[in-house]
Amino acid sequence: MAAADGYVATFERLDGSRPPRLRDLRHAAIARFAALGFPTTALEEWKYTDVTALAEVPFRAGATPAAPTADRRRLDELRLATSIELVFIDGCYAPALSAHEGIPRGVTVTSLSRAMIEHPDLVSAHLGQYANYQDHAFTALNTAFADDGAFVHLSRGAVFRTPIHLLFLSTAAREPTMACPRTLIVAGEASEATVIESYASADDATSFTNAVSEIVVGPHASVTHYKLQQEGARAFHIATIEARQGTGSRFASHAISLGALLSRTDINTTMEAEGTTCTFDGLYLAGGDQHVDHHTSIDHRRPHGTSRELYKGILDGRATGVFNGKVFVRPRAQKSDAQQMNKNLLLSDDAVINTKPQLEIFADDVKCSHGATIGRLSDDALFYLRARGIDAPTARQVLIYAFANELIERIGVAPLRERLGRALRRRLPGLLQAGDTA
């Protein structure tokens, strides 16, 4: 428990100086964190992900820098060409670096700290109601320490097509730092929005991003959510995305994980009403000594829900990957239609993937399927390309890119799709010679 104690002590030291609103929630959360401590590999959900290295670093918690600063050039590399872009440096909102022009009536995009002042009732009604801090230590830690993040609200019928970009950058300039961004997205009835959360850090920064996002998708609303994790080589990244879906709602989640030394993302949705749809797309790339873990949960609780999940991983070097995809179909969820697939490409002898699709079906009139594959590049395909004059290294890159491209193509936001294509091509240098576009 020693590692956890440090955080508890810091919490108590800072407690008095933090805003009174939500104090009870924060206290409850730190109490749970103190009781749970950091998870060990003895826990089923953390069996393949050892967080000892993370727990041992004395990350500075509860940072509130006077004015968040950042390398402008780095920031510009991370921006997406959209008019709504909130920038957070080490977990704190940086209004001077942000853009929020042209937000129509019925749509609110602001920092969580401002929202707590300007929309207190809305925030209190939802914040902390969905993400499970009782049993999940990192969620408890975030709930205790989160000072800021993003707040997106769409009132009834508000259809907003401009992608909302939430950019989280860790600098950890002076010392190892923990940032706890907290995001709350509330989509009212029949509303529509697209939100992109992107995470990055400096390559030499020993940073710890502990992020939690709660997403409420109202009846007949549609939320498309992207999470792009491009943190540096020494970063730790733990994130939870928790969604709740109302009748006839649609939730599309895209999770892309490229960076960090250790990355763990939990994405959960509860389809608690009839006729809901969710799609979970995931792509993870890891090489060197990276470890990337995705745990997802799709909970069909009512009839006529449709879920589609496709996660693909590409592992190289000595990288280790974990995929655990739970799909629950509860007794009342008749006529559920759930499909789940996890495909992994191992490019080296030392890369390892632990994949566990987990279907728990309690209704009898349903259509469910799942599958997992682990493989190497196809020898037949490689030879076909080489037999046409394409050299072996380029042929490999072409096939690796093709594997990832199925998911890249499904990204509806053009600048994000292009960003990802470029990031992939940077990691696969042979492709740059092969042609203009793939």
Task: Establish if 377 lies at the interface with other proteins (CB under 8 A).
Answer: no
From candidates 381, 415, 423, 425, binder to other proteins by CB under 8 A: 381
Task: Establish if 394 lies at the interface with other proteins (CB under 8 A).
Answer: yes
Q: Which stretch binds other proteins (CB under 8 A): 67-75, 150-158, 323-331, 403-411?
A: 403-411
Task: Establish if 135 lies at the interface with other proteins (CB under 8 A).
Answer: no
Q: Which stretch binds other proteins (CB under 8 A): 79-87, 108-116, 261-269, 381-389?
A: 381-389
Residue 159 DSSP code: B
Within 10-69, the residues that bind other proteins by CB under 8 A are none
Contacting residues for 18 by C-beta, under 8 A, at least 6 apart: 26, 147
Q: Which is nearer to other proteins, 105 or 388 (CB)?
A: 388
Smallest separation, CB 346 to other proteins (Å): 17
The DSSP bridge pattern shows strands 92-93 and 84-89 to be antiparallel
Residue that is written with structure tokens 């510009």 in the block: 76
Task: Establish if 437 lies at the interface with other proteins (CB under 8 A).
Answer: yes
Task: Establish if 371 lies at the interface with other proteins (CB under 8 A).
Answer: no
Cα 430 from chain centre: 29
Q: Which stretch binds other proteins (CB under 8 A): 196-204, 221-229, 339-347, 402-410?
A: 402-410
Instruction: Return the structure tokens found at 114.
Output: 């401002």
Give CA–CA dist 147/141, Å, rounded: 12
Check: CB of residue 237 under 8 Å from CB of residue 260.
yes
Give CA–CA dist 156/154, Å, rounded: 7
Give CA–CA dist 139/32, Å, rounded: 10
From candidates 44, 121, 365, 380, binder to other proteins by CB under 8 A: 380
- 365 beta partners: none
Q: Which is nearer to other proteins, 233 or 390 (CB)?
A: 390
Smallest separation, CB 169 to other proteins (Å): 32
Task: Establish if 387 lies at the interface with other proteins (CB under 8 A).
Answer: yes
Give CA–CA dist 434/424, Å, rounded: 14
Task: Establish if 311 lies at the interface with other proteins (CB under 8 A).
Answer: no
Within 231-290, the residues that bind other proteins by CB under 8 A are none
Other CB atoms within 10 Å distance of the CB of residue 416: 23
Check: CB of residue 263 under 8 Å from CB of residue 294.
no
Smallest separation, CB 387 to other proteins (Å): 5
Site residues, other proteins (CB under 8 A): 378-381, 383-392, 394-395, 398-399, 401-403, 405-406, 434-438
